């Protein structure tokens, strides 16, 4: 959707700080939020594209006043309450309600490393949906303004590019985010001239590559 999170190509947001060295997390609580979010990964309704869609619903004022991990915290709490995994009273008190259900088996420290070092994503393959485009084909992105999540950024809508790679078939994020049938389809790497996206001020040799789903593209 169009919202405060989609700022590619926009101006006057100030410099982006870059730290060559230093801790991964600037505050201890940020690491805890990251760990909590990762621990919830098996519960698909509170992570991934559903989580992205939740944070994209906030107003610009709310979105920009929060730091990166503050956003992670808020969307995690909102989705936990929304899905009934916890109550707002439990969040406020920091204590589980008497008799509340517990995850079985519990997540232990010994389970963490295998969980995130062994491949387990099985959503991408090369069967189940025909490819609408071929490598080397010129395409144009759709000029659309969806009310829900999309992985097609505003700055690249209605622009011409070239298919450079077919990654195979994977579910459509726009559908997953709203718990709809996942509409599996091909995902492509699409190359754009920087001037096609940003105008004549861009260097003519610069290129931008975006990974885009079938539904985002039209024949040029």
pLDDT truncated to tens, each residue of the chain (220 aa)? 788 888 887 888 888 888 888 888 999 999 999 999 888 877 878 888 999 999 999 999 999 999 999 999 999 999 999 999 899 999 999 999 998 887 777 778 888 777 777 655 545 555 668 999 999 999 999 999 988 899 999 999 999 999 999 999 999 999 999 889 989 999 999 999 999 999 999 999 999 999 999 999 999 9
Scan for tokens 């040799």, then name that residue.
Answer: 205
110 is written with which tokens? 């010994």
Query: What's the predicted TM-score (pTM) here?
Result: 0.83
In 3D, which of 130, 146, 156 has the Cα closest to residue 180?
Answer: 146
Angstrom distances, CA of residue 208 to CA of 23, 149, 202, 214, 220: 30, 22, 11, 18, 18
Q: What is the pLDDT of residue 24?
A: 87
Q: What is the pLDDT of residue 126?
A: 52
Q: Domains (ranges, CATH) in the chain?
A: 28-117 (1.10.472.20), 138-219 (2.30.30.50)
């Amino acid at each position: 959707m169009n919202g405060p999170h989609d700022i590619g190509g926009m101006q006057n947001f100030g410099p982006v700080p870059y730290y060559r060295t230093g801790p991964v997390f600037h505050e201890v609580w940020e690491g805890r939020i990251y760990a909590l979010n990762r621990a919830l990964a098996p519960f698909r309704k509170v992570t991934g594209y559903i989580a992205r869609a939740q944070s994209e619903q906030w107003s610009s004022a709310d979105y920009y006043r929060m730091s990166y991990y503050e956003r992670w915290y808020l969307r995690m709490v909102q989705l936990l309450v929304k899905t009934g995994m916890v109550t707002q009273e439990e969040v406020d008190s920091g204590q589980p309600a008497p008799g509340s259900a517990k995850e079985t088996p519990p997540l232990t420290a010994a389970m963490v490393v295998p969980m995130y070092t062994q491949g387990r994503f099985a959503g991408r393959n090369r069967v189940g949906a025909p490819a609408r485009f071929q490598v080397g084909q010129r395409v144009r992105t759709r000029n659309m303004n969806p009310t829900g999540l999309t992985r097609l950024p505003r700055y690249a809508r209605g622009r011409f590019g070239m298919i450079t790679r077919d990654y195979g078939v994977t579910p459509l994020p726009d559908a997953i985010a709203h718990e709809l049938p996942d509409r599996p389809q091909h995902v492509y790497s699409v190359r754009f001239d920087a001037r096609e996206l940003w105008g004549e001020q861009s260097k003519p040799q610069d290129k931008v590559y975006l990974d885009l789903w079938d539904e985002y593209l039209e024949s040029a």
